[in-house]
Structure 1
C-alpha cells in the first residue's frame, strides 16, 4: 500500500499534507464576477449571472431549456413534481446511488423501487430494468401499472455514477415502450457524453449538481435541462414560488417552491464553467496516469465504455473483496490520503429497505469492492 500512497502524493505534488478526495479549484474569473455581483447589489435570485448560467448550460449540453436551482436535490425534486409524480406513484431508480436521489423521489410522496446496476458502468442495468417491467408491470390504458400494488410507475431515474455514462439510450428506449418518463440524474456527469450527445439530454428531463465537490461548483447549485420548452417554462415558474408576473402584486395560483439559485452563486458557477474544458483535460490526464499505475498493481481502475466519454469526476477502483477494500481505506486514510467507499446501498437504509422487486447482485458486488481515490483538478 505504500506504493499507492507514494504514487498519489507524487501526482498531487504533496509529500506530507492531507490530500482531499475532490477539492474545488478557483483559477479563473471567480473573484471578478463575485465582485461584480456584489457591486450590482443583485445577490439574490434575480440578476444577469443567473441568466448567463442558464444560457451557458444550454450551450454546453445542447439542451433547449435550462433552469437554475438551489442544488441538485431540488432540481430532481422539481423535475419529478413537474411530471406530476405524487403519492401512490412508483419511481424506478438504482440502489447504488447517493441518498439524495431517493430522497427527492420520496419528497413527491412516490415510492422508489430499485433495479440492479451494470458491473461495467455502475449505472442502471437496462436488462434488470426490462426484467422488472416484464415480470412486475402491465400496460393498462396506456399507463404502466405495478401488478402487485396497482400503483402507476410514473418515472425512471437512472444515475450516471461518478460521471460514467450508463446505458442511457437503451434505458430510454425500454421506458418509452412502457410509457414511463425518464429523468436523468446527471448530477455527477457534467462533461460526460454518449457519442456526441451530452448526458442529461436523453430523457424527458435531466438534472445536474454544482455542489462544492463537483468538477465545477456554485458553492451549491443545480439545474434542470430539457428539450421541452413549455415544460422548462413550467419548471422555471414552479421554482420561483409559482408567482405570476405583476409589477407589484404577489399572486400565486399553485403550489410553488423557493428553489431559485442566488445570483451570487451563479456568478461563481459562470466563472467555473469557463474553466470546464481545462478541468476536464486535467482530470483525464490524472485518470490516465492512475490507469497505467494500477494496472501494474493488478488493481482494476474503472474506465469509460466504448462510445462514451466520462468526465472522471471521481476516480474509482474495483478491489478484490471486502477485506482488501477495508485494508486499502485504512492504509490510505491513515497516511493522509483521503479515500472512501461507495455509498451504502439504498436498500440497506431503513426508509428504503422494503423497495425491491428484483435481485441486485451487481450492486451488492460493487458495494463491497469499490473505493474512490483523490480526484481533484491538478493545475
Structure 2
C-alpha cells in the first residue's frame, strides 16, 4: 500500500460503497418512512404533548415487548436513564463504578451525577467493550469482598458499587464472564445499552442481563424520539421506583402536590413517544438495512490493504448502529488525513471518542492498564451508517 495515496484510495472505496449523491452524507441520519407525521399530529390535535399521554404508555409497552424486558420506563434521554439506573442500583456519593474508558462521555457523567467516581477499565479488541479477562485480573489485584457483603477497592478504600458494560456501536459485550464476576464480587451489573437497541447476545436482547439498563433514542440512534431514552429492568419494584423518581417523585393525587423524596423531571413527553412508536414499528426493516449496509462495506473494503472491517463478535448479533473500520497500526498516522479528506468531500466520518481517562475532569480517577483503549482510539474510524444509505 502506497502510504501517500492511502487517504485518497480510502475515499474512492467509500464512495463506491455508497449510493450516488450530490449532497452531504451524514454519519447517521434518521429514517422517517412510517406513521411519524400521523402520530405526532395526533398529539398536536388533541393537545397531549407533554409527559402524560397514550403514546408514552404505548411506547413503553412496545419497547418492553421488542426487547423482552418485563418493564421499560421512558425518559428524556439516555444519560438520564443511566443516571436513574445508578441511583436505583444503590450507587452513592464516594463509591466507585467500573466503566470502560473507551465510551461516550455520558457513561462517566452519569456516575459523576451520583457523586461517585468512575473507575476506568480496558476494552477487548474483539468486542470494543469491557474486557472480562483483564477486568478479572484487575479485580483480583485491587478488590476485596468484605463481611458487609460489598466489594471495596483496597487501594482507595472506596466501595465498588457497579460494573457497567457499554455495547459499543451496537456490538454486544461478552456478558457471561462479566455476569460471573459480578456474582463473585456481589457487584450489580448495569448495562449501558444506549447504542444497542436491536442487538442480541446469545439470542437474548442486550439490556436484559443486568439489574438495570439504559437505552438512548437520540437523533443519531437506530430509532429516534428526537431526544429520549429508557430504563429496562426485570424487577417490578425497580420499575415502579424508576417511574416514580423520573416523575419528580410526586405521589398520585387529584390536586395535591406531595413529593416524598428528591425526584427528577425526566419523564419522556408524549410528543416524543409518538415519534418513537412510529419508529419502533419500522425497527425490523431498519435493522435489516443496517446489516445489508455492513455487508456492502465489508465486501467493498475486503481487498483494501491496511483496513480491517469490524464485524459483530461471536455469539452476538449486532444492530450495526455505527459502521467502523480499523486502520492497520502502521497506518494510524493517516487517520487525521482520512478524516479531513472525507469530510471535505462531503462524507461525514468521525474518530472514536477520546478515552475518558484523558478528559480533564476524569484525569485523576482510578484505572487499570488501558493499552487496548489507547490503541483502538488511534485506529477506529466511523463511516456513514444511516439506514437510508441502502434500500431493501
2:78, 2:229 within 8 Å by CA — same for their partners in 1? yes
1:78-89 superposed matches below 5 A:
78-89=84-95
| 2:301 matches 1:315 | no
Deviates more, 1:139-148 or 1:234-243: 139-148
1:239, 1:258 within 8 Å by CA — same for their partners in 2? yes
Report the CA distance between 1:357 and its aligned residue: 3.2
Name the residue aligned to 2:373: 363
Runs of 4+ in 1 over 6 A off after TM superposition: none
| 2:140 matches 1:130 | no
How many residue pairs align between the two structures? 379
Report the CA distance between 1:2 and its aligned residue: 4.1
SS across alignment from 2:111: helix
Deviates more, 1:212-221 or 1:328-337: 328-337
Distance 2:351 2:88 in 1: 34
Query: Structure 2 regions of 5+ residues with no counterpart?
Result: 1-6
Name the residue aligned to 1:250: 257
Pairing partner for 1:188 from 186, 195, 198: 195
Distance 1:281 1:106 in 2: 37
Distance 2:159 2:104 in 1: 24
| 2:46 matches 1:26 | no
Distance 1:80 1:128 in 2: 24
Report the CA distance between 1:274 and its aligned residue: 0.5
Q: Deviations over 1:112-146 (max 9, x none)?
A: 00111001111000012212211111011211011
Name the residue aligned to 1:335: 345
Deviates more, 1:360-369 or 1:2-11: 2-11
Query: Structure 1 regions of 5+ residues with no counterpart?
Result: none
Name the residue aligned to 1:234: 241
Pairing partner for 2:359 from 326, 349, 359: 349
1:317, 1:371 within 8 Å by CA — same for their partners in 2? yes
Name the residue aligned to 2:211: 204
Distance 1:288 1:15 in 2: 20
Report the CA distance between 1:22 and its aligned residue: 0.3
| 2:112 matches 1:106 | yes
Distance 2:18 2:143 in 1: 50
Distance 1:240 1:354 in 2: 35
Distance 2:196 2:292 in 1: 17
| 2:48 matches 1:48 | no
SS across alignment from 2:97: strand
Name the residue aligned to 1:305: 313
Q: Deviations over 1:74-110 (max 9, x none)?
A: 0000110112212111100000000011001100000
1:94, 1:123 within 8 Å by CA — same for their partners in 2? yes
1:132, 1:357 within 8 Å by CA — same for their partners in 2? no
| 2:175 matches 1:168 | yes
Distance 2:25 2:230 in 1: 29
Distance 2:367 2:387 in 1: 40
Report the CA distance between 1:10 and its aligned residue: 4.4
SS across alignment from 1:73: helix
Distance 2:283 2:196 in 1: 12
| 2:58 matches 1:58 | no
CA RMSD, aligned part only? 1.1
1:147-162 superposed matches below 5 A:
147-162=154-169
Report the CA distance between 1:7 and its aligned residue: 4.0
Give the structure-2-normalised TM-score.
0.95
